[in-house]
Structure 1
């Protein structure tokens, strides 16, 4: 008999799971059509008794209350919830729907002449019994579905770090999955240690490490959204030593725990999460200074930095945002995104997308004049070091003469401010890209001495997840089984997030006095190989190959032409503090105008003749400290002594 019942339940389980989402919703609605009248019947029976109830003609009340209940549940999203994934977060939808039904019931009783105690007692009993039945049926069905869940071979055992609200919701959602098996919580809260939550033990970190082999998780989800960045990094450092894949719940409110794709919503570890410093927050007053109520032009607005700049600028409510971009596809993508964001945020900002090159003086001047541009953000540069090294003339045309064109157009058409996005590679450069960016800075320094337009420069470190960044490359190499390629074991870089980079640019425009360079305090430079090792381990792989399937090695490929071991932030000059404690400025010495004009004339001639060697020679003579690296020797490690101390 027991065997037959068990067999029937398993058959029911497989039948239910095989149904389409629509069919499952129909079953749930049909269940409520039975449960709601039943709850109302019980309310009347308890209040009046069955004998008195039989004399009343209240079928129309049953019908209306049931319809109101179903509609209320639908509006509150109860029918979008999947039974396998329901949790206590579903309760507001149940309570809300039944509260509306109870109020309607009270009104109906009043209209039909049932005043006094009956008018209020019956709706109250209906509300309580309805919660019991509507919620109870769902929890019972969920229990049965999980009890007979025959997970396929190969499901992943996971541990959830964090037994708070976010961790519990994650466990609830994934307990209903056929791909994952939650086995335990880990938490630092002493009051939770030793308890069981949703049937899972809560372990202290030391206990978990002691019993790691017993639990053998293949996945750990860090689910403490309230953790400070410092605490999160500390936990990630501990987890990295385990060699198990780690995922991160950083914003619990944005997750849909009722979705079958809940796990896909949990983000993989990003290099941003491994930064050994706090993300630098922006000063809101500095963000609005050159943006709010003004007309803005972003050159190179379709690139990774330019597009983030456009997003940030849009939310600061300029009158107009003109996106100028050479790539048709990039312009199409960012314009569509900005139009959508503008509609969602209430509109009020004119979005204009224009194709063209920063080298086209006539085109740039026409745009500035037509749209009455107040501030220009110049992000239209070739920045990939090896590519510019192989195409020096094109790099010079775009990075040097494109900047010169913008500077002239800005001065001649009454632009108030122009901000150049530069790079730490412009400081004592060893590559063409860095040298062109330094010469572009020198052009703006010179122009600032003889123009009403305020010119300034912002030097970035390496921007995480921008085009050409190591972060996406490392993750792709790890997924493909490696090896992860690092040029040299001693290579170090400053890192900043895309958001920090865009906010730095915007804030710099508010603080610029003319000819100044702004730099963000990015803490200490980070060893690329250390970053790679941590990322490999947190993605559940091994960075020390031993010829097993889970190994991802690190391969050192040698410094590329023009690449440094260490980057610097400042050359020399008068350093000054700013209104932002983490942003410093400097007025560096610049080349006399006559010399600069001569350099630019020589470069024009070299570019017109497509003479690469002559063009590079002119750059070497013009840019202080520019020494080409040919790959035959490694840069002197003493360069690290030149790193700026923000202290």
Structure 2
């Protein structure tokens, strides 16, 4: 599907883009892969990684700018929507800006994709969109709803929209592992709560989930990969074995445990070998055999959180992952 196609990724100079681009070039050899983002310096630095590769193109633009998206999507087959305002406190203190990017930007992507004949769009979401308690999560829930409904909005145009949702990305810039590594020599690590847990997913696994969504989707599905959990205290112990822990309390808008599927979604959720799929509650799409495929409906009251997970990452596995990825941690 993605082979010999034109693919565009919004927010492509971020952590996800820096992994998606080289892996997709190697796996699918697309005709063209366009990195769409608003930071010219990040594009300049990223361009150095690909030299004169004719498949890689860069396009300055902002998802808030509908006209610019129309120009960028001309001739594009598939879009990965990764652009977002992601930092929880930033969204809380700049709510208007968060909405402009995460909600208005999603609407612009949907309109441009339909009108320009894009075949498929996969939007990146977050665990914080499930039962949100902060503006970032609420804005991404709104975005998810827009992309799901976009399949009906497309009408006869045929553009399909789906969403992938995952939690804490190991080693990404601003995440807990590089943060702990940066202050490990201070001898004390701040931890919000001793009970706190987080899902653990690599960027490579996130990319593979997007690939799977493109190949599997009929439209409107939310894909949730099965991934292990880990206690934050255990992460801290791996990163800085000699450091003490200072418990500082949960920050505003922060959850004790990550949640990717809430009990309210259980009636529409199906389980597969490596992932779950939340089907749309609208238009009876949740009963569509083409969307269900070989999935098994989860039990009533089911939820998927980092606390009730059956799969846990042990300290040895994290030590091995850090050793294999040490040079990349916190860069992107």
CA distance in 1, matches of 2:250, 2:234: 17
- Give the alignment's TM-score, normalised by structure 1: 0.42
- Other structure's SS at 1:339 match: coil
| Residue 310 (structure 1) aligned with residue 14 (structure 2) | no
- Other structure's SS at 1:376 match: strand
**Given the alignment, which residue of 482, 495, 519 partners 2:224?**
519
Matched residue, 1:14: none
CA distance in 2, matches of 1:409, 1:297: 12
**1:43-442 pair list within 5 angstroms:** 289=1, 291-315=2-26, 316-339=28-51, 342=53, 349-369=54-74, 372-442=75-145
CA distance in 2, matches of 1:641, 1:588: 23
Matched residue, 1:182: none
**Shift of residue 482 of structure 1?**
3.2
Structure richer in strand, relative to its length = 2
| Alignment root-mean-square deviation, CA | 2.2
Is the CA contact 2:259–2:306 (under 8 Å) kept in the aligned structure 1? no
Uncovered stretches (5+) of structure 2, i.e. residues with no partner: 284-302, 312-332
CA distance in 1, matches of 2:110, 2:309: 29
**1:466-481 pair list within 5 angstroms:** 466-478=172-184, 480-481=185-186
Pick which of 400-409 and 306-315 moved more. Answer: 306-315
Matched residue, 1:448: 151
| Residue 491 (structure 1) aligned with residue 183 (structure 2) | no
CA distance in 1, matches of 2:73, 2:45: 23
| Residue 564 (structure 1) aligned with residue 255 (structure 2) | yes
Uncovered stretches (5+) of structure 1, i.e. residues with no partner: 1-288, 343-348, 543-551, 592-637
Larger Rg: 1
**Shift of residue 583 of structure 1?**
2.2
Residues 10-67 of structure 1 deviation map (CA, whole Å, 9 limit, x = unaligned):
xxxxxxxxxxxxxxxxxxxxxxxxxxxxxxxxxxxxxxxxxxxxxxxxxxxxxxxxxx
**Given the alignment, which residue of 255, 269, 287 partners 1:575?**
269
Structure richer in helix, relative to its length = 1
**Shift of residue 577 of structure 1?**
4.7
CA distance in 2, matches of 1:642, 1:482: 28
Q: Are the structure 2 counterparts of residues 517 and 640 from structure 1 closer, same or farther at C-alpha, using a change threshold of 3 Å?
A: closer
Residues 174-199 of structure 1 deviation map (CA, whole Å, 9 limit, x = unaligned):
xxxxxxxxxxxxxxxxxxxxxxxxxx
Q: Are the structure 2 counterparts of residues 641 and 583 from structure 1 closer, same or farther at C-alpha, using a change threshold of 3 Å?
A: closer
Matched residue, 2:289: none
Residues 309-335 of structure 1 deviation map (CA, whole Å, 9 limit, x = unaligned):
112122120000111011112111222
| Residue 462 (structure 1) aligned with residue 168 (structure 2) | yes
CA distance in 2, matches of 1:577, 1:338: 39
**Shift of residue 484 of structure 1?**
1.2
**Given the alignment, which residue of 268, 277, 298 partners 1:585?**
277
**Shift of residue 404 of structure 1?**
0.8
Q: Are the structure 2 counterparts of residues 639 and 491 from structure 1 closer, same or farther at C-alpha, using a change threshold of 3 Å?
A: farther
Residues 186-223 of structure 1 deviation map (CA, whole Å, 9 limit, x = unaligned):
xxxxxxxxxxxxxxxxxxxxxxxxxxxxxxxxxxxxxx
Q: Are the structure 2 counterparts of residues 332 and 366 from structure 1 closer, same or farther at C-alpha, using a change threshold of 3 Å?
A: same
Compare relative contact order (CA 8 Å, sep 6+) and give the higher one, 1 or 2.
2
Is the CA contact 2:162–2:220 (under 8 Å) kept in the aligned structure 1? yes
Is the CA contact 1:569–1:643 (under 8 Å) kept in the aligned structure 2? no
**Given the alignment, which residue of 494, 514, 530 partners 2:234?**
530
- Other structure's SS at 1:332 match: helix
**Shift of residue 640 of structure 1?**
5.8
- Over 3 Å off, 4+ runs: 638-646
Residues 470-509 of structure 1 deviation map (CA, whole Å, 9 limit, x = unaligned):
111111111x323212111111111101111122112211
Is the CA contact 1:442–1:590 (under 8 Å) kept in the aligned structure 2? no
Is the CA contact 1:454–1:514 (under 8 Å) kept in the aligned structure 2? yes
CA distance in 2, matches of 1:495, 1:323: 26
CA distance in 2, matches of 1:490, 1:319: 48
- Other structure's SS at 1:463 match: coil
CA distance in 1, matches of 2:138, 2:187: 33
- Give the alignment's TM-score, normalised by structure 2: 0.81
**Shift of residue 468 of structure 1?**
1.6
**Shift of residue 644 of structure 1?**
6.7
Is the CA contact 1:386–1:560 (under 8 Å) kept in the aligned structure 2? no
